[in-house]
Amino acid sequence: MSQFSTASQELETSKGTVRCRRHGDGPGPAVVFLRGFLAPPDAWTPVVEELAGRHRCVTVDWPFGAHGRPLRAGADLSPPAVAEAATEVLDLLDEPSAVLVGNDSGGVVARLVAAARPDRLAELGGGFLADVR
């Protein structure tokens, strides 16, 4: 990913602090990746490398078991609560809408955001990836 700018920051959500990485600064909509349960934070690296020239790609250490920093003790980590945290991340990044791309449990979270806050989505996953490749 050295050919694209990458910025790392920590975001304070209601569940605790999460690490976020922004890759690229393309003009297209922000693309937020939601990895699956126990998947490592770099699970989306090949896709991010392909898209970062055209989009702002965002990877987050979501609380799916492979995150590096524990969240607050007692934080609700149910799928609907993580979907709320995903919307908080969009707020903290000042992204009014984004493309959410998820697999496994990340796909569930993306669908929960789509159901609860459709106004926050530029698009939902699968079709978007097929269009940009």
Instruction: Name the burial class of residue 17, with classes exposed (0-12), middle (13-18) and buried (19+) by CB atoms within 10 angstroms of its CB.
Output: middle
pLDDT of residue 73: 87
**Predicted model pTM:** 0.83
Domains of the chain, each with CATH number or no CATH: 6-132 (3.40.50.1820)
Confidence class of residue 4 from pLDDT cuts 50, 70 and 90?
A: low
Find tokens 């990044």 and name the residue.
93
pLDDT digit string, tens, across residues 36-91: 888 877 888 899 988 888 888 999 888 766 667 777 888 888 999 989 999 999 99
CB 35 within 8 A of CB 62: yes
Contacts of 4 (CB under 8 A, 6+ apart): 23, 24, 25, 49, 52, 53
- CA dihedral 12→110→47→68, nearest 10 degrees, is 40
